[in-house]
Amino acid sequence: MNYGPKPWQQSNWDFRAALNFIFGGAGAGLLTIAAFSGLGGNALRAEFLLGMALIGAGLVSVWFEIGRPLRALNVGFNPFTSWMTRESFAAGLVFALGLAAVWLASRPLAQAAALAALVFAYCQGRILQAAKGIPAWRVPALIWLVFTTALAEGAGLLVALAALFDAPARGVLGYFSLALIARALAWSMYRGGVTKSAVRPALAVLERAGKLLIQFGTIAPLALLLAGWFAPDIARIAVLLAGVAALATGWQFKFVLITRAAYNQGFALPHLPVRGTR
C-alpha cells in the first residue's frame, strides 16, 4: 500500500507544447503521404510547403514556451540521450530535404524528406515516453499512438484537401484507412498500458478523448469512406468529412494528453514511520 499526496496536473508544459505535437505530427504525416502518394509538380510542392509550415508552426509554438528562447540552438547539444535533440535534428533534415524537394521538384528528395518526417514523428513519441515523471506519458505504447496518429492526421489532411478539388486516388484512401486502423490499434494498446500506471482523473479524460478518437476518428471516417465508395455522388463530401474528423480527433487527443491527462507521479511512501513502542 502507498501513502502520500495525490498527483496533480503538471503545469510545466501547456498548450504551446501541445501545439508542437499537434502541428508537428500532422505536418510529418502529411509529408509522408504526400511523398508516397504519386503526387507531383505543384500539388506536391503545395502539400510539402503546408507540411513544413505545420512542423515549423509547432516548433515556433514551443519556442514561445521555453524560458531562454535566444539559447534555442542549445537544444542540439545532447543527441546521445535526449529525444528532444534528436527531434530537432530530424526537423532540420525535414526542412533541408523538403525545401530542396520543393525547389527542384524532386520526388526522390521528397521521399527522403518523408523518411526524415517519420523519424521526427517517432521522436515526438519518444519525447513523451521518456518523461518518467508523468505516468500517462511513460507508457511505451504511447510512442506508437503518437506515431500512428501523426500518419492518420496527415492522411486525413491530405484527403480533405484533395476532396476540395477532386476525388482522391483510391491508393491514398486505402493508406488513409490503414492509418486509421493502425491508430485505433495503437490506442487500444496504449489504453491497456496506461490503466496500470495513470491516476483516475487522468484516465477519465483519456477515456473521453479515446472514445472520440475511436467513434469520430476511426469508425465515422471509415463509414464515410464506405458511403462514398457506394454513393459516388457524396464521395467528395464524405471524404472531406472523414479527413477532417481524423485530423480533429487526433488533435484533440494530443491536446488532452499534454494539458489534461499529464498528472505527475505525486509522492508515495511504501512504509509509514514506526515510532515509539508497538
Partner 1 sequence: MTRWAMVADLRRCVGCQTCTASCKQANATPPDVQWRRVLDMEVGEYPAVKRAFVPVGCMHCDEPPCMHVCPSTATRKRPDGIVTIDYDLCIGCSYCAVACPYQARYKTDRASFAYGKPTAAEKQGFDPKRLAVATKCTFCADRIDAGMAKGLTPGIDPEATPACVNACISQTLSFGDIEDPHSNVSQLLAENQTFRMHEELGTGPGFYYIWDKKGEEAAA
Residues interacting with partner 1, by CB under 8 A?
3-5, 10, 12-13, 62, 65-69, 71-72, 74-78, 81-85, 88, 127, 130-134, 137, 262, 264-265, 267-275, 278
**Closest CB 274 distance from partner 1, rounded Å:** 4
Query: Cell 525547389 belongs to which residue?
Result: 103
Q: Which of 194, 187, 77, 209 is nearest to 138 (CA)?
A: 194
Q: Where do we find the cell 491508430? A: 183
Q: Which is nearer to partner 1, 6 or 211 (CB)?
A: 6
- In terms of CB distance, is 82 or 106 closer to partner 1? 82
Task: Dihedral sign for Cα 29, 76, 106, 56, please.
Answer: positive
Of 163, 162, 156, 206, give the one whose Cα is nearest residue 178.
156
Supply the minimum distance, in Å, between the C-beta of residue 6 and partner 1: 11
Q: By C-beta, is 42 or 274 nearer to partner 1?
A: 274
**Cell representation of residue 166:** 477532386
Spatial separation of the C-alpha atoms in residues 249 and 245, rounded to whole Å: 6
CA separation for the pair 149, 45 (Å, rounded): 23
| Nearer to partner 1 (CB atom), residue 16 or residue 107 | 16
Q: What minimum distance in Å lies between the beta carbon of 230 and partner 1? A: 47
DSSP 76: G
CB of 41 to partner 1, least distance (A): 38
Smaller CB separation from partner 1, 72 or 231:
72
- Closest CB to partner 1 among residues 3, 103: 3
Residues 182/156, Cβ–Cβ less than 8 Å: no
Q: Please, what is the minimum distance in Å from the beta carbon of residue 92 to partner 1?
A: 13
Classify 9 as helix, strand or coil: strand
Are residues 128 and 156 in contact, defined by beta-carbon separation less than 8 angstroms? Answer: no
Task: Give min distance, CB of 215 to partner 1, in A.
Answer: 30
